[in-house]
Amino acid sequence: MKKVGIMGGTFNPIHNGHLFLAEHAFEQAGLDYVLFMPTMNPPHKAGIDIASAEHRINMVKSGIKSNPHFVISDIELNRPGITYTSDTLKALKENEPDTDYYFIVGADSLMMMDAWMEPQTVFRLSTIIVGGRGQFSYEQLDEQIRHLENTYDGKIILLDMPHMDISSENIRDRVNKGKSIRYYVPDEVASYINMNGLYI
C-alpha cells in the first residue's frame, strides 16, 4: 500500500508554514509523497477574496518544485460547486484503492472537524495528521483527539514539530501594505506575487 499525504487548502498564497507542515508529515508518517491540492470553493472561505485558480496553482507549483516528494493535484479545482474533503477522498479511493491516504491539518482544523461534511467518511477513508499547536494547549488537543477517535473510530497522528505562526491572510495584508514577505513564502512565490500584482 502506498502512503500518500494530502495538503488541502486555498493556498492563497502557499507559504513556508504549509511546506514546513508537509515536510514534517512526510518524514514522521513515512509517506511516499504529499499531494498539494488547491481547492476551488471551500465552504469555510465564502466571501473571502481568493486569487484565481490559475494563479494559486502556479504559486503552488513554484513553491514545491524543489522538493521531489511534493506533488500537485488539480482534482478539487476541476470539481464544480463547493469542495468537501469527504467527496475528494471518495474520488481518490475509487481511483487508487490500494493507497492509504493521510489528510494533513493544522490544530485549528482539528478542533472543527465535527462540523465538517461527513466527518465519518473522512475518518473512514484517511488517517488524520495534525501539525502545529496554535493557540491550543496540549491538553486541549489530546482531549479533541480522544473525542474524534472515539466518535468516528478514527486514527489521528499528532506531529512533533515547532509551531510556525504564518498565515496566508497575514501575507496578503503585508503585500497590500507594501511590506516584505521574504522568508514568509518561497522566493519564487514572492516573485510571482510581485510580477502578477496579486493582493494589492
Residue 114 main-chain phi, psi, to 5 deg: -60, -25
The pLDDT of residue 172 is above 70: yes
Please report the domains of the chain, with CATH numbers, ordered by start residue. Answer: 2-195 (3.40.50.620)
- d(CA 45, CA 91) in angstroms, rounded, equals 22
Question: Given this model, what pLDDT does residue 44 score?
Answer: 55
Tell me the per-residue pLDDT of 88-98, one tens digit each, with 9 for 90 and over. Answer: 999 999 999 99
pLDDT in tens, 142-161: 999 999 999 999 999 999 99
Alpha-carbon 71 to chain mean position: 13
In tens, the pLDDT along 37-73 reads 999 866 655 556 789 999 999 999 999 999 999 999 9
Question: What is the structure's pLDDT at 186?
Answer: 98
Give the integer Cα–Cα distance in Å for 176 and 159.
33
Cα atoms found within 13 Å of the Cα of residue 97, Cβ hemisphere only? 1
Residue 42's pLDDT is what? Answer: 64
Residues forming a β-bridge with 99: 2
* Residue bearing cell 491540492: 37
Tell me which residue of 190, 100, 105 sits closest to 156, measured CA to CA. 105
**What local confidence, expressed as pLDDT, does residue 48 receive?**
64
Grid cell at residue 3: 502512503
Exposure letters 156-192 (e unless 16+ CB within 10 A, then b): bebbebeebebebeebbeebeeeeebeebbbebbbeb
The DSSP output letter for 5 is: E
Q: Does residue 176 have a pLDDT over 90?
A: yes
